[in-house]
Amino acid sequence: MGVTSDQLLEIYQRLDDYFGPLNWWPAENSFEVIVGAVLTQNTNWKNVEKSIDSLKRVNLLNFDALLHMPVERLADLIRSSGYYNLKARRLKNLLEMLARDYGGDLSLFFSEDISTAREALLQVKGIGAETADSILLYAGGHATFVVDAYTHRILSRHNLIPEACDYQTIHDLFMDNLDHDAAMFNQYHALLVRTAKQFCKKGTPLCAECPLEPLL
């Protein structure tokens, strides 16, 4: 793939000029980001917000409460996020790893170098690369790029990547061609999500209105 730093920077600049600061991820603290990153798998954010609000209403959105809560109770509280039994187990798996290896101290976990922290997350059953990178970037402030279906859609439609392109390859494009700046990666990912939802839609894209039209 012949994607250049200039191309990726042009995409960023156009979208940043159009949308301005998006201030993603919406959360009160790092733990809330972690919970949201697991719950947002295969669902939309509005459903995740309902689950988080459900946990907040009963004052259970904290590490110790969720760690020691029966998985059935957790599943019931996050029901609105969909696949709630599976997500409850995945969240418990993650919390158990953090409790076992870091004493539940998130600052200790995030003080690890990025490769060590990323590998620890990927060893947790149910935590894939997108969820791991979301946790590292948005909760931990690590400079790692989050790739999702929106990223893939925009890049492939502009012929910057082939349709059959895996997560790690796209991730490496950003990591290899851009300065490792967590704030920029945060905004860049948010910009791609907003662009895909507003213009580069899954069905018929609104290319004529898109700030990336024409690209390069």
pLDDT tens, 80-138?
A: 999 999 999 999 999 999 999 999 999 999 999 999 999 999 999 999 999 999 999 99
pLDDT tens column, 133-163:
999 999 999 999 999 999 999 999 999 999 9
Q: Are residues 104 and 169 in the same domain?
A: no
101 shares a domain with 149: no
Chain mean position to CA 106: 18
Distance CA 80, CA 180 (A): 35
Cis upstream peptide for 205 (omega within 30°): no
Q: Is residue 81 part of a domain?
A: yes
Task: Indicate if 203 and 183 belong to the same structural domain.
Answer: yes
**φ and ψ at 31, to 5 degrees?**
-65, -40
Q: What is the pTM of this model?
A: 0.95
Domain limits for position 183: 5-23+145-209
